[in-house]
Structure 1
Amino acid sequence: MILPIFGIYLFRIVCLYFTYDIYKKIIARERTTKMPNYELYINDKISLGDYSVIQDYVCILDYQDSITVNIENNPKKEVDIICNILKNEQFNIINEGEEKDGRYSIKAKKE
């Protein structure tokens, strides 16, 4: 009677050990994996409804994700509005400026 009970406990201990070992490997893999870099291209004038779409897109990004927004054919005022959307969603603006070809580029990371 004692032998089957001992076998059950030994089986549980072995299962818990392997589960813990697999968990440690998953955590280690997550720490070494680079976070995604998303890109958003805006090639035309931005209308009022487009701002909510941009905000919805930015909301799905997770902690430590980064995004590059490339904007063409829009005034600086609209670029500032997009920067404010990113800041309101807890993004840090890493780089913002006008490229050589006349388009604006915003690089940000969520922290």
Structure 2
Amino acid sequence: MVLSDLEKLIMRLEHTHTSLSGEEGTEEEFLGDGLGKHRAECVRQTDAVRAAMRHRGELARSAGGLRTPDGIAASAQVRRELRELEHYAVALRKAHDKEK
């Protein structure tokens, strides 16, 4: 998965977060209303994507690049995690649409 794909995923999660909340906020601020759990989870997932990007970069640097066996394994692990997050983002959007 290339960086632009990761950035697009982050933007989608942030858009979901913003559209659910109507504004940016913290997890604690979101827990006070009906969609609070969805909003808080979206914040956590957005943070998880950012952490995965940082982790992939760190692994690639320490492994000598993404084309080494360790770098390829690190990239594969991050891609698996990001696919799970993408599925979550879709489920979150569907849950939000049902509650409207």
TM-score strictly above 0.5:
no
Q: Which has the higher helix share?
A: 2
Q: Which has the higher strand share?
A: 1
Structure label with greater radius of gyration: 1
- Higher RCO (C-alpha under 8 Å, 6+ residues apart): 2
| TM-score normalised by length of structure 2 | 0.24
| TM-score normalised by length of structure 1 | 0.22
